[in-house]
Structure 1
């Protein structure tokens, strides 16, 4: 496999993981049966880990399986596993580190993409239950003004 095909597979897997994560976050984590793990992420918890971290464990097992299968003759699957792993690293740095300050280093965002990402995720956490949330991406930050309007609309619907 050429390096550019391998690179394309890794990048496609990384981007595809953001789409997959958005779908899982909205339709599984915020569903009646997925909320049991994810709720810990929307409320104050004590300790280093929260029940929601079990989702990361599940995704890590999938990545490990792709590395194993890829190592025995399916290099494209190994590259997919690498894309998933890189996504996990970015998620850990950006979401857990930057947004939730779970790491011992602090980055203060002054503007641009990272500030929008933090704002979008804070809007997601403006609700403490599974309904009415906005902004389900982890590395994609939409238009914060539109997200605020959507959140207000969702809150009005829930009140009436």
Structure 2
């Protein structure tokens, strides 16, 4: 049952991430997210990196509360959120934005579609008119961009 809680939480985080990215990061907290789009701090820490702390605080609280209550469901929810956060860091910061230079020349269609979707998202330097706010779920059109590009 605990594994199921972790798995469900991990997948629900994609929808939650989409909502937070679209309505919070591109909404009232745009001042923290802006430098991630305009690249004004290229190669350095960004104000956008504060979201790591903002999202970690409730997760740590859930984990703490879950442990003092004999490892109840809150602990496993926090574990699912933590695993999603780790996946996010690996894919977004390491793979897409190349903070560490690995998987730079991948040919994997899924990874290339994620990268393409994120590039489409970043072509907008303002908070309006954004697209592709998700993270692990990739809309079909970005797979099509990859396959049409390789056929040309």
- Classify the TM-score, shorter chain: 0.7 to 0.9
Q: Over residues 98-144 of structure 1, what are the superposed CA-to-partner deviations in whole Å (9 max), with x where a residue is unaligned?
A: 11101243432213211110000000001100011100001111123
- Residue of structure 2 in register with 1:65 after alignment: 61
Structure 1 residue ranges, 4+ long, deviating more than 4 angstroms after superposition: 145-148
- Count matched residues: 143
- State the secondary structure of the residue aligned to 1:52: helix
Scaled by the length of structure 1, the TM-score of the pair is: 0.83
Shift of 1:146: 9.5
Q: TM-score with structure 2 length normalisation?
A: 0.87
Q: Does 1:27 align with 2:23?
A: yes
Check conservation: 2:6, 2:76, Cα contact below 8 A.
yes
For the 8 Å contact 1:97–1:105, the answer to whether it is kept is: yes
1:17 offset after TM fit, Å? 1.1
Does 1:93 find its partner at 2:95?
Answer: no
Segments of 5+ residues of structure 2 without an aligned counterpart are: 146-152
1:37 maps onto 2:32 in alignment = yes
What residue in structure 1 maps to residue 117 of structure 2? 120
The aligned counterpart of 2:137 is 140
Partner of 1:50: 46
Conserved 8 A contact 1:68-1:78 = yes
Q: Taking CA–CA contacts closer than 8 Å with sequence separation of 6 or more, which of the two structures ends up with the larger relative contact order?
A: 2
Unaligned runs of 5+ in 1: 149-160
Q: Distance in 1 between matches of 2:11 and 2:142?
A: 24
